[in-house]
Structure 1
């Protein structure tokens, strides 16, 4: 009896667990590429708990076996309403492969990090099996894989353009973005008796229509048609031009309905819902999660992704950064949906009272840690906006970037008697903490927030992501000038010294990004060395669907200007750019010397590999001065080397 009570706390995953609840029939069965963790950070759990809150009988089949007799796809029978399918919390191709297309040796969403439990293109694989086994039962796909592949997209791993995932998966409907709002309406219509195949005007959904004469009318929506899938296959510029429409409509509060021909069918993507209200997002996080992996995994080992977030608190969704290489806004939206302080503190209390809580919260954050409660000052201005970013090339004058609510939230969390310390593990937008860039903010308020984070919410290292040092590359990335990182470091060093913190600043950078050339990486290496950094946290650009950078990578054109942009693509080009990160390794020195001599960049060579190396140490905790070149900050030198690309004659 005790085991039955324990199992009934989770959504059922087997027939035995269904019977424990006394159910004879299921309303919805979910299939997921992840192990089942009943936690608000895991999308499949959120959707399962949401459907349960509507009074539905919901089960979940995590990581079904696709290599046997496919028993996992029939063991629970046929649901009354529909099957729901997701590849998991990450696109399965990112989960399975690294930037060099090599198989990963760990899957963070599987017990013990074991590999082989998630197929490539999982949503497509699961959906096709379900349609074969249960041809008359609707299949609805969602999650990040569905969101990012909802229209013609470049697939890096197969190196080809692929049509909407609705075509490859044979699913009946796609929900893109965060699924709570559209699913609520879909279930409402189904429970009223509306046939699934007649549901075609719900926001934030997409369907394939076989006959153009059946396109539903909606007087509240304007329509726009983009280049067909077949045109995109023949014309890379047409494919690139599509993305501007897709990105702008995805981020508008009053968006148009998008149409695209795919063979003899028509893809229809309905406009997104308005940003979730505080009450709506609170309701999602307040669902009765156990916050634990299903007991079925107890003997298989820990789930790495869960171990990383089990004491973290997500305080908002969305990101208005709009970075060209990032998929967050494509899935969660540009506008911020913030939870109430009361909802957040309820979750903190729940975590603090869990049996194994040691007093430390691993993260109080979100997609970007410091965007909580930020929104437009005048809503009518936001209503008309089509910009993909609110902070690039400059911070919008209508954006309220006050960090005061966030500072007060941190203090409220830390006041909990069982919380010893709360960390900020999410990425912090350091540029928003620089008054020279964030000109509309109160400089003291920004310093107060920075000092709060540095003195109470960091353990040894503060990680930020300037991403590059080259202004042309940063402009394409929709990131500000690297000069603002210099400004931030000055403030960081000042607070570090004032409070005797001994903290280290760790910057993240990307190589191989569109518009980046070998010389740009040499500039990056020289300037960061000059600042006292010996880089370790680095990564190569990985093209993922639904980003500006990926469109450029495949097509060679910028979707907003349709101007040509060069991108490193070959393994040789990528390796050469990456090597500059590690200028200090002996095996790279001869190559760097030869490369810079060929480029005629003796100035960079003198910085990276001086003939008479001065005593140099990397920037260590507590150091406010660089030990290289007399510690004068690069951007303040009178006779500094201009790290700029030489004009080609």
Structure 2
């Protein structure tokens, strides 16, 4: 039976360890499962022959937890956990959350705001100049000067605020192996300036030649056009082949981002998933009821990484990259067989997916030599002519998994890219998806119906979703099944006017869709959409973009997506009048809502109802939604807290 890594002195003594080589500090409870980034990184370090311990959710108000394992021989490795600590703590309406699925017992408050910064400063206070390496989602997405929604201001690189020595961005296995090896070999951490996939601060005189420089931190704070320029430079240099060294002045220091680390090969990714994880939470949490975040990933399998879909509101491309990495069929099948031996397995594999479940090959062959196209998308607004679509490998993998003895059903719950499916001339995958891999509902993400808004999102136009939905229901009917599409929708994204929101409400009425869940756009670091939100400009065209920002404006857009709810009635009426669409208020077939008097009886009553729904509608409405940090099933931090009953990924990712 696999053992957990040391979490206390007693564990060290039992293993005969006097001093640990490395200590990993995380903002999550300790779950030793490959869906948790710190678990992967700690096991990778262990596999290199070093001793490593875990300090999970230390009390940052004292030194006790930070000293319980002693001083590591080489370095501290620090992460906020699977998601950004600010997203973990606050809704899009900036209200404090009461739950945290990555914490034992599910209760919020066990990690600080801006956890990476707080942990690093405490380590510095205790241990002085000991080497500190930061990584995971919070660090990765804040590596440059970035707009911070919670401060409503531009903050410097997290390297500046944390005082850490080195930042590992993206999927960190390869750079971690190089970092720990060189530190153990006696190199000073300040000399590790040539490792791909890392960032560091240096005196300007030591700035390496050949890089592309972003506008300075002080400049992007006051000039939004320069903020856009910096965003475009950063986004355009995340490919392992075309990406250059990126520079940005941070006060009296120069931030250097080395080119991205190469994507893991299939053999390397297989080895990562073959490491000796216990695949559960540490037993010290048993009396608290365990860690909710394990529930949906416990019987799920990640078969890929990366996403060439590259939606503007998602940070997967900025963190994981657009190039697809895949595990071998043999590796996935071994994990599936392992799942059947676990005590709580009931025969159902909840997912064989990833950031985008049906990506199992490059978008085209030329990217393997020339990299992915800079400033272009493979699927939006229309599929690239060079796009190569083939589901045969993924389909064969699913067939083999569902044929394993003890497996009753294999579901796909992570994002399916339906526009990619519609480009496949072979319907085999579509048919078998509907027949074998839908658990009653298939979650997909058209997000909006307005062409202008979808262009700002970097998504295909709504006609593609309509064609997909028609085909889905045709196959479903032919099979005699009762299955449904659950469309994810987003309100208040940059580019979405009140008229666009009305258009979306009419689309929902036409399609007979009554969404139970909608999400207000959450401007998190590391996305093009967040740049639009902050600047009011599209960084790729420099054209103005309308941005809904006031609480009432955002509430009206969100209410229109659920126009059928009585609590939204008064606010929807107000929104329709403001949008010049009073014709949609009435009892006719084409109307969205009846007049206020019909529902509330008197004008006086109607007036008293106005403020209530408007105020309540400013909440994020993300029940069961994944956040827009991008996501994946295996490390770092993708797409907000996990909620029971939903498939979640540490990088919080949302369906495509």
TM-score by length of 1: 0.89
- Deviation of 1:561 after TM superposition, in Å, equals 1.3
Task: Identify the match of residue 592 of structure 2 among 580, 584, 609.
Answer: 609
Post-superposition Cα deviations, 1:367-404, rounded to whole Å, max 9, x if no partner, equal 11111234422346642621353212222333332111
Post-superposition Cα deviations, 1:277-321, rounded to whole Å, max 9, x if no partner, equal 111111111111111111111111121111121000001111111
Task: Identify the match of residue 74 of structure 1 among 45, 53, 67.
Answer: 67
Question: Residue 63 of structure 1 corresponds to which residue in structure 2?
Answer: 57
Question: Residue 399 of structure 2 corresponds to which residue in structure 1?
Answer: 411
What SS is found at the alignment partner of 2:371?
helix
What SS is found at the alignment partner of 2:295?
helix
Partners of 1:32 and 1:44 within 8 A in 2: yes
Over the aligned positions, Cα root-mean-square deviation in angstroms equals: 1.6
- Deviation of 1:136 after TM superposition, in Å, equals 2.3
Instruction: Select the structure with the greater relative contact order (CA < 8 A; seq sep ≥ 6).
Output: 2
The alignment status of 1:214 with 2:206, answered yes or no, reads: yes
Question: Residue 133 of structure 1 corresponds to which residue in structure 2?
Answer: 126
Question: Residue 606 of structure 2 corresponds to which residue in structure 1?
Answer: none
- Deviation of 1:77 after TM superposition, in Å, equals 1.3
Partners of 1:87 and 1:143 within 8 A in 2: yes
Q: Distance in 2 between matches of 1:82 and 1:593?
A: 59
Q: How does 1:391-470 map to 2 (within 5 A)?
A: 391-434=379-422, 438=423, 441-442=424-425, 445=426, 447-470=427-450
Question: Residue 601 of structure 2 corresponds to which residue in structure 1?
Answer: none
Q: How does 1:148-297 map to 2 (within 5 A)?
A: 148-209=141-202, 211-216=203-208, 222-297=210-285
Partners of 1:247 and 1:388 within 8 A in 2: no
Q: Distance in 2 between matches of 1:359 and 1:279?
A: 28
Q: Distance in 1 between matches of 2:194 and 2:470?
A: 53
> Cα–Cα, structure 1 residues 379 and 526, in superposed 2: closer, same or farther, change >3 Å?
closer
Task: Identify the match of residue 454 of structure 2 among 452, 457, 474.
Answer: 474
Partners of 1:88 and 1:143 within 8 A in 2: yes
Comparing 169-178 with 353-362, greater Cα deviation is found at 353-362
- Deviation of 1:602 after TM superposition, in Å, equals 5.2
> Cα–Cα, structure 1 residues 610 and 300, in superposed 2: closer, same or farther, change >3 Å?
closer
The alignment status of 1:386 with 2:374, answered yes or no, reads: yes
The alignment status of 1:556 with 2:549, answered yes or no, reads: no
Partners of 1:583 and 1:608 within 8 A in 2: no
Number of equivalenced pairs: 592
Partners of 1:522 and 1:604 within 8 A in 2: no
The alignment status of 1:370 with 2:350, answered yes or no, reads: no
What SS is found at the alignment partner of 1:267?
strand
Structure 1: tracts of 5 or more residues without a match: 1-5, 613-649
Task: Identify the match of residue 309 of structure 1 among 284, 294, 297.
Answer: 297
Question: Residue 512 of structure 2 corresponds to which residue in structure 1?
Answer: 532
Q: Distance in 1 between matches of 2:539 and 2:495?
A: 14
Comparing 461-470 with 587-596, greater Cα deviation is found at 587-596
What SS is found at the alignment partner of 2:532?
helix
Comparing 585-594 with 347-356, greater Cα deviation is found at 585-594
Task: Identify the match of residue 320 of structure 1 among 285, 295, 308.
Answer: 308
Question: Residue 28 of structure 1 corresponds to which residue in structure 2?
Answer: 22
Q: Distance in 2 between matches of 1:540 and 1:598?
A: 20
Q: Distance in 1 between matches of 2:285 and 2:567?
A: 44
TM-score by length of 2: 0.88
Partners of 2:63 and 2:126 within 8 A in 1: no
What SS is found at the alignment partner of 1:505?
strand
Question: Residue 87 of structure 1 corresponds to which residue in structure 2?
Answer: 80
Q: Distance in 1 between matches of 2:235 and 2:165?
A: 24
What SS is found at the alignment partner of 1:299?
helix
Partners of 1:470 and 1:520 within 8 A in 2: yes
Comparing 228-237 with 191-200, greater Cα deviation is found at 191-200
Comparing 246-255 with 108-117, greater Cα deviation is found at 246-255
Task: Identify the match of residue 331 of structure 1 among 319, 332, 344.
Answer: 319
Q: Distance in 2 between matches of 1:73 and 1:244?
A: 39
- Deviation of 1:103 after TM superposition, in Å, equals 0.7
The alignment status of 1:359 with 2:347, answered yes or no, reads: yes
What SS is found at the alignment partner of 2:255?
strand
Q: Distance in 1 between matches of 2:26 and 2:457?
A: 32
